[in-house]
Amino acid sequence: MDTATQRKWDAASRSFDFISFGDDHRLGPHKRRLFAKMHGAILMVAAGTGNDFRFFPTGQSILAIDISPRMLERAEKKAAQYQGKIELRQMDVCQLQLPDSSFDSVVTVCTFCSVPEPVVGLRELYRVLKPGGHILMFEHVRSRIGPLGIFLDLMTPLSRRVGPDLNRDTVGNVQKAGFRIRREENVYLDIVKSIEGVKDQ
Amino acid sequence: MLFVIGDYLAGMMVGALTAIGVRAVIWPGMDMVVAMIVGMAIGMAIHLVFGLIFAPLIGMFNAMIPASLIGMYGGMFFGMRDSMAAGSRTLGAAIAVGVVFGAIVVAGVEYYDRTLRGAVVDSGY
């Protein structure tokens, strides 16, 4: 278990709902549209305080993991309100204690901006997905627009201290982990994206 | 709609505060290059503080990205202007220009966002 990352997100859990209030309301419809594609056995990575549970289609059975026990404590109430089943478990995405080929869908929300070794984590998700399964990601990435990309590079040493990196090439990392990109959609500029990757049969 | 109004209000406020901050530090006759660099630094500091204040209300990136452009470029432009003592002779006029500049940058970012929005890759299967 990566204890440094765990401590960082334990600390962030106190203000997480306040900081993400605007994003949750503004980006909710985009998340709901993406998550409508989830089916079968579902793994949610980095559940956080459970703010995204309300955007899941009802009636699903979901295993939601997070590295931070403080985040999971805050997620308990929201998991109980979900009209379906959400099991919460503390786990590091880079060391998943889950069998191979056991999920049909994997969901991530602003996760791989924060995982210290993103390709390792994505390879773990590739391992636990069934062949033909898909990964649904709502992530922010480095902009390819000149000044914005430089700005995100400059801000990352600051943002990394309390939260995520702002300059990750998550689409490239998904491909490096073995997924085929089925759909990539810009939600805000070319920074906030929904990404759908497939583990081919 | 409320978020769009919030975007403009946040942008106009960052523009106004950048104009005030630059006017407080840059004096007429200051070397223009130094004034532009100092103005940019002031604008970036203001954007960081006020971008973070607005982020919980309108969203992290929707607050920070326009604010960064307003702070960075506004700080440089206002620094250049104030070092030359060119135009905006009163603080009120400088603030008004900052507000207009902020609104124009937000409009530009919103337009650019609309052109970029949507599928980049869609293999369909």
Contact state of A182 with B123 under an 8 Å Cβ cutoff: yes
CB pairs under 8 A between A and B: 77
* pLDDT at residue B20, rounded to an integer: 96
How many helices and strands (H and E) does chain A possess?
A: 7, 7
pLDDT in tens, A180-197: 999 999 999 999 999 999
Residue A140: which of B61, B72, B122 has the nearest Cβ? B61
Contact state of B58 with A26 under an 8 Å Cβ cutoff: yes
Average pLDDT value for residue range B60-73 = 93
Residue A37 contacts B where some CB pair is shorter than 8 Å: no
Bridge pairing between strands A42-45 and A61-66: parallel
How far apart, in whole angstroms, are the C-alpha atoms of residue A173 and residue A164?
16
Residue B103 contacts A where some CB pair is shorter than 8 Å: no
How far apart, in whole angstroms, are the C-alpha atoms of residue A4 and residue A115?
11
Sort out which chain A residues have CB atoms less than 8 A from B60's CB and list them: 19-20, 22-23
Q: What ipTM did this prediction achieve?
A: 0.84
* Three-state secondary-structure class, residue B1: coil
Token digits of residue A183: 């759909």
Residue B59: which of A23, A151, A189 has the nearest Cβ? A23
Model-level pTM?
Answer: 0.89
How far apart, in whole angstroms, are the C-alpha atoms of residue B107 and residue B104?
5
pLDDT in tens, A147-193: 889 989 998 998 888 888 999 999 999 999 999 999 999 999 999 99
Taking domain A3-198, whether its CATH number is 3.40.50.300 is answered by: no
pLDDT in tens, A28-45: 999 999 999 999 999 999
Cβ distance B27 to B82 under 8 Å?
Answer: yes
Other C-beta atoms within 10 Å of B122: how many?
13
Cβ distance A166 to A156 under 8 Å?
Answer: yes
* Residue A86 scores a pLDDT above 80: yes
Residue A175 contacts B where some CB pair is shorter than 8 Å: no
Torsion of CA B42, B45, B50, B52, to 10 degrees: 170
Query: For chain A, which residues make up each domain, given as ranges?
Result: 3-198
Average pLDDT value for residue range A109-119 = 92
Contacts of A32 (CB under 8 A, 6+ apart): A55
